[in-house]
Every structure is written in structure tokens, then in C-alpha cells.
Structure 1
Amino acid sequence: MDSKLIDALKLQMQPVAIIHTDEKLEKGLHFKEGNMFGCVAAMLVAASKKNSLAYFDRKTYGCPGGGVGLGFGDCYGRFPIDSLLSTGDKQMAAQMGSAGAIMEEGERFYKNPEQARKWVDSLPMTDVSTKFVLFKPWEMLTDEDKPELIVFFTNADQLSALVVMADYNKGTNQSVMAPFGAACQSILYAYEEAKQENPKGIIGFFDISKRTIVPRETLTFTVPFKMFMEMESHVETSFLETHMWKEIQERQ
């Protein structure tokens, strides 16, 4: 598919479309059933860099946070996410063997388990209606595809442009948000925005535990597909066609 917006941004990594489908792929990156340590965010990065499809279902989403991010409902269940995100649990870590090292001290993203629980309770849990969630790199999209979301991997210049474009025809100064979550959970927040009359773009990849899998200057910007198309339609009348942006393009 052609895109004036993507062309103007001069991205180093491909945008990735999030697609819901009931058709299982014969080829593509995926986790084996029962793999609780698979990282959805790493798959998202791989799809962008390697120009490869990736797909998931309710038995192959990797870690519980990944299942939540993909929209397979509340996958945390009895998993001690409150302790993991905060001060840890040495007793639980001992039961987990070699996989328990990070649980022993906790990730310290929240002061205590109670604060972490508030965060969990605030998540806009979603249960998608299809069997599979597919990651498809932009260059592989066809006119027949019907993406739910588009995920951009951006540097500061590109992110600035997307933030401005998100509010270009609204004038609200309320067209983006930057919630904390697992690196893949911007997808979850964007699902919620897709339900809104005036959706917002989601700035993400703030998860400290996964920052090393993307270049240092990289963040994501995730938008519902209808919002992407709206931004796409305004490129020719926007700053992206001015000398200001052309000067910035030259330093990409």
C-alpha cells in the first residue's frame, strides 16, 4: 500500500499493522503453546525489522502481559503481576527456579503491590472476537487487508510530526496520550481509542524491561486505522509539505 504520511516520515523501521482474523497462517513467526516467556513486543519489533508476519492466539501469546496487550482478555489470572511490577516476592521467586530471578527483587515500576494493582485495575481489558491477532509489516499490506491499528516506530523528529498530525484537523490539543504499560500494551490502549468518536494516538514503549530491544531513541506511536487514514488525507495541506519539515528530513 502507498502512504504519503509514511513516505514523509522517512522511517527507519517499518510500521506494523495489527489485524484480527479467524484464518490461521501457514507461515509466520509464532510462539509454541505453553511458552510463558515469549515476548509480544519482541515479535512486534521482529515483524518491523525482518519484514515478517507474526500471529498469536489464546494459547500462543507468550507472557500474560502479552495476552492482555493483544486483547485476549485478562490473562494475568493468578500470576503475581502486582509483586513483579513492584517489590517482588522472594517466596514466589524460589518456586519459579531460574525464571524467578526478576521476581525476587521485582521490577520496581510501582512503589508497592497495592499501587501496581491500581494500575492493573485501570487497564482497558479487551477480548477480541477473532481467533488470531496478526502483525503485518506495512510493505506486505494489500488493499484487501483491514487493519485495526497501525504501530509506528519513531525517533523524536518523527514522533513530533505524528503528534502534530494527530491534532491537525481537531485543534483540541488532546489527541495523544502516553500511558505506562508493558511494551506491547499500547495495542490495548489503542483498541480502546478505536471505540471512541475522536480517538487518540498512543505514545508507547516506555517499558524499562524491554527498552533494550529497540534503538535508544525509539518510541512507538499507535493509532486506530481510521485515525491513520484521517492523518493520511491531510498530508498535502500540512507542514509535511513545507520547507520546515524538509529541513528536518535532511537530518534523518
Structure 2
Amino acid sequence: MTCPLMGDLPFNGRPHGSADPGKRKKNEINWQEVFGQFSCVIGKIWLARKKKTAAYFSSTQFGCPGGAFWLGFNKPQTETIIHYVSSGVPGRIEGEHYCDSPDHLRQIFEYVDPVPAAGEYCVFKPVSQFSEEETPLLVSFFTRPESLNGLHQLAAFVTNDPEVVASPWSAACGSLAVWPLHYLEKGKNRAVVGGWDPSARKFFKTDELSFTIPFKMLIQMIDRYKDSFLTTKTWENVHKKINKSKKVWNEI
């Protein structure tokens, strides 16, 4: 489990200036240098998960120019990234083809309209490493479908909202930060399932997805789970499948 937290803490990314609005406007960004120093946000979080430590990012130390947008450090998104993620630029940039055209991708990015980062740094770290004085904005679970089943249903149980779980398109890091904050900004209490980004799948376990919720929803889930389906025989059957899954992946 990891938690994004905006706060005044150190960084753990690679420095470059592609988030500088002035440089973007003047077309002064050295994109060869940017991509040469590329470091995936989810990749840093993956390493932090393995080491049970924290991953840190800031407006100048974010590793991935796309990730800078999805963490709320850089908007609007740069045209180079818009073309790279969509159709590319013939003879210059091979596109990822995650969206069918730059025009449609611009519309998506304008709709997402990331909430600006509330602090200088964005920190992802295990819940156990939070002090009593710290409160996370969001909580993320990295889990496989059998366990995700319980999280999904419990979120609906505590909110009585049949649409409480959303799974919008984005980079994998967007599902951990921008989309949950996007919903909160609009007054919507939403859980976000992510991990669909093909480029980031190498930083997830096989069959693993992410499930991110506001911290307040986590408290609701903890306070009320004993009143829910999690105490029934039906869930006991699902729990057996969870254990089978763990055995298959040598996790117990």
C-alpha cells in the first residue's frame, strides 16, 4: 500500500527543465536530453515498493515529462508529448498510439485539467511510514482481481454509490494522483482503478492493478467493514481464492 502526499520533503527523480512554462513557450526545451534522462514515475514507485521506502517527485525532478502532467506539476501538456503519446511526428517521433490523434488527446488533457500540486513535492510512501502528524491525501492499493473484488464492493458499501469506482484512461501514474484528485475537486467521492497503461505494465506484478481512494474513504472502509459482506460465508469463499492466488505467485 502506498500513499501520495504533497509536502515539503526531498526528491527522488531526475532533473531537467521540461516543466518550465517559459522554456516550453519559447521552444527552448532540449527534448533529446529530456528523453535521454527519462525515468518512469511508476518505475520509481515500483522500486520504492520493493524497498519499502518512499519515492519523491517535484516540479523540476520528475523523471518523465508526461508524469509531470499527471502529478499536477506541468500543464498544459507539451505538444511534443501530445504527439508522442498519440500519432507521433513522421520522420521525427514514433508515436505510442494510445490516442488516435493529437487533437483528441488535447481534448482529453483539457478535460482532465490536473489539480495543481498542493506542495513543492509529491511523495509516495508506505502507510506505516507516516508519522502521527502526517495525513495522506490518497491511499493506493496494488492488488490482483480477487482482492480488488473486496475493495470495489466495500467502497460501494460505505458510500451507497453504484458508480463510486471509476477507471478512466490515463498513464498509470495518473490513476494514482490526478484522477482521484480530479474527482475530489468536483465534489465526487471516487475510487480509481488503474494500471492499464501498457508502457507501465512492466512495473506491476502479473495480473496486478491499482486501486486508489481518498484517505477519508479509507477511514470509512476501516470503520464499517465489519458490517459488510466481508464477514459473510460468501466472502469466505472468495478469500479462499485470494489464498490460492497468493500460492500461485509464491506470496504466502
SS at match of 2:172: coil
Rounded Cα–Cα distance in structure 2 between residues aligned with 1:180 and 1:146: 27
Distance 1:124-1:229 versus aligned 2 partners, 3 A rule: farther
Query: How far 1:192 moved relative to its partner?
Result: 1.9
Deviant stretches of 4+, over 3 Å: 195-198
For 1:228-243, what aligned pairs fall within 5 Å after superposition?
Answer: 228-243=218-233
Rounded Cα–Cα distance in structure 2 between residues aligned with 1:169 and 1:204: 21
Query: How far 1:183 moved relative to its partner?
Result: 0.8
Unaligned runs of 5+ in 2: 17-33, 243-252
Q: What is the one-letter code of the residue matched to 1:179?
A: P
SS at match of 2:142: strand
Between 146-155 and 196-205, the greater mean CA deviation after superposition: 196-205
SS at match of 1:168: helix
Query: How far 1:75 moved relative to its partner?
Result: 5.9
SS at match of 2:15: coil
Q: Which residue of 2 aligns with 1:32?
A: 14
For 1:151-162, what aligned pairs fall within 5 Å after superposition?
Answer: 151-162=140-151
Q: 131, 136, 148: which is aligned to 1:142?
A: 131
Q: 210, 213, 224: which is aligned to 2:203?
A: 213
Rounded Cα–Cα distance in structure 1 between residues aligned with 2:62 and 2:235: 39
Q: Which residue of 2 aligns with 1:199?
A: 189
Q: Which residue of 2 aligns with 1:7?
A: none
Query: How far 1:145 moved relative to its partner?
Result: 1.8
Rounded Cα–Cα distance in structure 1 between residues aligned with 2:161 and 2:145: 22
Q: What is the one-letter code of the residue matched to 2:181?
A: Y
Compare the two structures and name the one with the higher helix fraction: 2
SS at match of 1:185: helix
Rounded Cα–Cα distance in structure 2 between residues aligned with 1:115 and 1:199: 27
Rounded Cα–Cα distance in structure 2 between residues aligned with 1:227 and 1:135: 18
Distance 1:60-1:82 versus aligned 2 partners, 3 A rule: same
Query: How far 1:196 moved relative to its partner?
Result: 4.7
Contact 2:164 2:189 in 1 (8 A): yes
For 1:1-252, what aligned pairs fall within 5 Å after superposition?
Answer: 15-22=1-8, 24-25=9-10, 30-34=12-16, 36-74=37-75, 76-77=77-78, 79-93=79-93, 104=94, 106-186=95-175, 187-252=177-242
Structure 1 vs Structure 2: percent identity of aligned residues? 27
Structure-1-length-normalised TM-score: 0.81
Structure-2-length-normalised TM-score: 0.81
